[in-house]
Amino acid sequence: MRFGICVMANIDEIGFFNHAETLGFDSVWVTDSQMLFSDCYAVLALAARQTTRLRLGPGAAICGTRIPPVQVAAMATLNRLAPGRVHLAIGTGNTAMRTMGQRPMRIADYDEYLRVLGALLRGEVVDYTFAGVTRPVTMLMHEREYMNLEPRIPLYVSGFGPRAMELAGKHGDGLVFAIPPRGVPVREALGHVRRGADNAGRTLSGFLNCALTNIALLEPGEAVDSERVIRTVGPNVMASVYYFYDEVHERGVEPPPFLRPMWKRYCGLVEATPPAHRHFRTHEFHYTHLHPGEAELIDADLIRATCLVGTAEQLAEQIRELERQGLQELMFATGVGEKWSVAEAFARRVMPRV
């Protein structure tokens, strides 16, 4: 099992990458959310200069805010700084788009975006439509200077539903997905990938996978909903709530059962903001802080519904089981100020047990 961390892009915390490398993590994935955080590629460029072993990349870069040639140029530039140590994870952009009051990219458009993106990463010529005009495009200088497409840059497709997971099999070198309690079992996710590959006539030799999750590492005898736990994983827990707030109100569906005990109280907090500016409020503190009144909504059941929870040995056993199911890499997200100690505790107490 490989271990990674997903951090919010922060130009003032480049030292965290050295910290993660020293602790033995395999990778750090950097969020791409232009209304909230530092630019992910600027952060990754500095991180590439300060590390020697760590694998680096956006986690995930957003389709709707950068056209495929721009994504590839950024990644090929990173690959020149840290050859063979970079990966590109790409997604439709829930938070990045919704903080602008927009919706994530539709699956059909995602499919087309990935077709062009994958071809450009491979150095191929591909037809690309921009502003209604279709022309063949290719990366022109990658064999000489400025940027490198070799060593090959792996393309991880971010997929949290069956159709997006199938696109990973159709276009990608890997899949980033969410595991239970909130996500999809490993074997089921990989089954969707295989279906997408089979439909496209692809063979998945060397296909990669990485699961994004939340980790609540308990001290012996500590309550799941202790003040410390809520402080360190509360923003992660609430990120799930923010996601479903949009889903419920856009699709006219009921909230999932694990959110129903607190749903009306949460909606009351959000709806104190005028509708025209509500998209500012719902994702503003993505993985970093809690809004006033949110800590009181978080209980043990909600934490267990959105995180892997346990002591070091309990978490190690959960991770060993995920590995038995076919998971190759586990990445957990953290954006709180305690991320330095959170990463160290996991590296010292959990990773050696797996």
User: Domain limits of the chain?
Assistant: 2-214+310-353, 227-302
Q: Give the mean pLDDT of 44-57.
A: 98
Q: Which of 232, 246, 230 is nearest to 278 (CA)?
A: 246
Q: Specify the residue for token string 């709180």.
A: 336
pLDDT value at residue 182: 83
* Predicted confidence (pLDDT) per residue in 219-230, tens digit: 999 999 999 999
| CATH of span 2-214+310-353 | 3.20.20.30
Rounded-to-10 torsion of CA 9, 92, 171, 145: -40
334 strand-pairing partners: 7
| Cα four-point dihedral sign 251, 252, 254, 255 | positive
Q: Is the pLDDT of residue 105 over 90?
A: yes
On whether the CB atoms of residues 107 and 167 are closer than 8 A, the answer is yes
Tokens of 354: 């797996």
Tokens of 112: 């087309």
- Distance between CA 273 and CA 279 in Å, rounded? 9
* Predicted confidence (pLDDT) per residue in 121-180, tens digit: 999 999 999 999 999 999 998 888 999 999 999 999 999 999 999 999 999 999 999 998
**DSSP conformational letter for 87:** -
* Predicted confidence (pLDDT) per residue in 178-194, tens digit: 998 889 999 999 999 99
On whether the CB atoms of residues 79 and 153 are closer than 8 A, the answer is yes
Q: Give the mean pLDDT of 71-78.
A: 98
> How long is the chain?
354
pLDDT value at residue 142: 83
Amino acid at 297: L
Q: Give the mean pLDDT of 61-87.
A: 98
pLDDT value at residue 228: 98
Tokens of 288: 């970093």
Q: Is the pLDDT of residue 245 over 90?
A: yes
Amino acid at 259: L
Share of the chain above pLDDT 70, in %: 100
293 sits in the region (left: phi over 0; alpha: psi -120 to 50; else beta) called left
- Distance between CA 286 and CA 267 in Å, rounded? 17
